């Protein structure tokens, strides 16, 4: 019997996406010497997951999707174990067992395991032509499967579903989107913005069906169509399941690490078990808008959370300022920027400022004169500035009526905000 390799490392990172890479970069700023090991069940170097739709659309190749240069691991003295899967963690002994039989002993551990696609119970979901859309492997598989003249059904009208839809349309595939809620992009847009996005999809030739689900995929070995819960049959050759993502928490199941919907972390990205950290889609981290821990599975939050974890793993105490749901997108030529609370709940007095004109929609949600949320459609030029006000918790009482005016700019901002970010403020600001 061949004895499997035993590995010892100072820092073990499970996951090779934004969070893991952020942690490596932070660790190496502080610790140039001690060993770092990354384990990933994907065979690829770190790539930008948000770009998989660009790959499917034929607009990016694999090299153009790399998140860091090909020599990133060697330059940072990282032992990258790709196409390997961690099967079991022993927290007390600080060991990780891989599916290959290898065992890694670690001193500090970061769980950046991401998420897995939500796949509903659906008759016929095992047929050829049914895919999820979360990794580059999914995009490659769909790319190799589709042919000219294909028709597709995308299950889910959220971020993943609309991204997949746009890529397929660019490939000449006819698409029907089936969304179980009453509107698409319902988790990040309000009703007005959703209707504008839906109209943009329709103008691109996409059929959008809401308040429906797919209950069955029909055909022989390969997909030939779907049946909705209304009984309607839709012919198609391809089904893309894009309902959402669940945190990959199975590695800590049954351990002393606290898990809610995701792995719960503190403001230092530390879990409830000493020496173990988590970040990215798997972690419930601080949301500065809601002032509590929440899942916020977006790329920038994963990277920043990974950096914070990396600093703390390396002994430099660093606090996570918090993230929130923030997305800047372009679907079918329509610019979208959204963040925070876009549809305020009726639990307190909210102040909503909005305007709509000729394909442009802007909305800012205020609570106690603080920006709590925003939606910009069609014209997103000022969205970054509004997001900064949100993140900095700037009281906008003195200029809130100017937030959506055409001339709103840096001159309206408080002097202390200028000084914090830009040093001495321009005279135009000082004179206010």
Identify the burial level of 384 via C-beta atoms within 10 angstroms of its C-beta, where 0-12 means exposed, 13-18 middle and 19 or more buried.
exposed
- Structural domains in the chain, CATH included, are 6-115+246-313 (3.50.50.60), 119-243 (3.50.50.60), 338-430 (3.30.390)
Report the C-alpha gap between 79 and 110 in whole angstroms.
15
Report the C-alpha gap between 158 and 106 in whole angstroms.
38
What single string gives the DSSP state of each residue in 103-135? EEEEEEEEE---EEE-----BTTTSBTEEE-SS
User: Is the pTM higher than 0.95?
Assistant: no
Tell me the pairing of strands 36-40 and 6-14: parallel
Structure tokens at 366: 């205020």
Residue 191 CA: distances (Å) to CA of 100, 203, 378, 380: 49, 18, 15, 18
pLDDT in tens, the chain (432 residues): 445 678 999 999 999 999 999 999 999 999 999 999 999 999 999 999 999 999 999 999 999 999 999 999 999 999 999 999 999 999 999 999 999 999 999 999 999 999 999 999 899 999 999 999 999 999 999 999 999 999 999 999 999 999 999 999 999 999 999 999 999 999 999 999 999 999 999 999 999 999 999 999 999 999 999 999 999 999 999 999 999 999 999 999 999 999 999 999 999 999 999 999 999 999 999 999 999 999 999 999 999 999 999 999 999 999 999 999 999 999 999 999 999 999 998 877 899 999 999 899 999 999 999 999 999 999 999 999 999 999 999 999 989 889 998 878 766 676 766 666 555 444 433 332
Report the C-alpha gap between 131 and 149 in whole angstroms.
18
Q: If DSSP states are collapsed to H, E and C, what string results for 151-196?
A: EEEEECCCHHHHHHHHHHHHCCCEEEEEECCCCCCCCCCCHHHHHH
Structure tokens at 362: 């802007």
Structure tokens at 330: 């372009």
Residue 420 CA: distances (Å) to CA of 65, 161, 388, 414: 35, 40, 12, 10
H-helix or E-strand spanning residue 30: helix 18-30
Closest to 125 (Cα-Cα) out of 218, 211, 227, 245: 218
Closest to 128 (Cα-Cα) out of 244, 239, 53: 239
Q: What is the dihedral of CA 233, 234, 237, 239, to 10 degrees?
A: -90
Residue 330 CA: distances (Å) to CA of 86, 245, 298: 36, 21, 16
Query: 166 near 193, Cβ under 8 Å?
Result: no
Q: What is the per-residue pLDDT for 409?
A: 72
Q: What is the per-residue pLDDT for 3?
A: 52
Query: 73 near 165, Cβ under 8 Å?
Result: no
Q: What is the per-residue pLDDT for 159?
A: 96
Q: What is the dihedral of CA 414, 380, 246, 314, to 10 degrees?
A: -50
Structure tokens at 170: 């660019």
Report the C-alpha gap between 90 and 385 in whole angstroms.
46
Q: What is the per-residue pLDDT for 4?
A: 66
């Amino acid at each position: 019997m061949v004895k499997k390799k035993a590995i010892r490392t100072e820092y073990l990172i499970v996951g090779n996406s934004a969070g893991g890479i952020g942690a490596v970069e932070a660790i190496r700023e502080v610790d140039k010497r001690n060993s770092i090991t990354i384990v990933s069940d994907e065979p690829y170097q770190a790539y930008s997951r948000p770009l998989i739709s660009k790959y499917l659309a034929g607009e990016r190749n694999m090299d153009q999707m790399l998140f860091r240069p090909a020599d990133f691991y060697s330059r940072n003295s990282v032992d990258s174990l790709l196409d390997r899967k961690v099967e079991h963690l022993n927290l007390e002994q600080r060991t990780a067992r891989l599916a290959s039989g290898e065992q890694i002993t670690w001193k500090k551990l970061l769980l950046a395991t991401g998420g897995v696609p939500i796949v509903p119970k659906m008759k016929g979901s095992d047929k050829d032509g049914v895919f999820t859309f979360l990794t580059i492997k999914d995009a490659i598989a769909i790319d190799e499967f589709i042919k000219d003249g294909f028709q597709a059904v995308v299950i889910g009208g959220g971020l993943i579903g609309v991204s997949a839809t746009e890529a397929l349309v660019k490939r000449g595939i006819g698409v029907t989107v089936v969304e179980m809620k009453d509107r698409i992009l319902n988790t990040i847009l309000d009703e007005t913005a959703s209707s504008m996005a839906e109209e943009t999809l329709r103008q691109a030739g996409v059929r959008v069906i809401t308040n429906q689900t797919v209950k069955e995929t029909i055909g022989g070995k390969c997909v030939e169509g779907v049946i909705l819960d209304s009984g309607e049959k839709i012919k198609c050759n391809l089904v893309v399941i894009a309902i959402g993502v669940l945190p990959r928490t199975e590695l800590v199941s049954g351990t002393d690490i606290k898990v809610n919907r995701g792995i719960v972390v503190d403001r230092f990205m530390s879990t409830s078990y000493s020496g173990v950290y988590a970040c990215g889609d798997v972690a419930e981290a601080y949301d500065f808008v809601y002032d509590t821990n929440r899942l916020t599975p977006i790329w920038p939050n994963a990277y920043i959370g990974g950096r914070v974890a990396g600093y703390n793993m390396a002994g430099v105490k660093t606090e996570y300022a918090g993230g929130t749901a923030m997305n800047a997108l372009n679907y079918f030529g329509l610019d979208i920027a959204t963040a925070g609370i876009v549809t305020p709940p009726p639990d307190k007095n909210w102040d909503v400022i909005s305007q709509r004109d000729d394909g442009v929609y802007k909305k800012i949600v205020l609570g106690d004169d603080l920006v709590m949320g925003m939606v910009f459609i069609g014209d997103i030029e000022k969205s970054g500035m509004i997001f900064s006000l949100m993140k900095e918790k700037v009281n906008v009482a003195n200029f809130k009526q100017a937030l959506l005016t055409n001339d709103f700019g840096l001159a309206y901002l408080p002097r202390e905000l200028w000084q914090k970010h830009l040093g001495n403020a321009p005279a135009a600001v000082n004179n206010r």
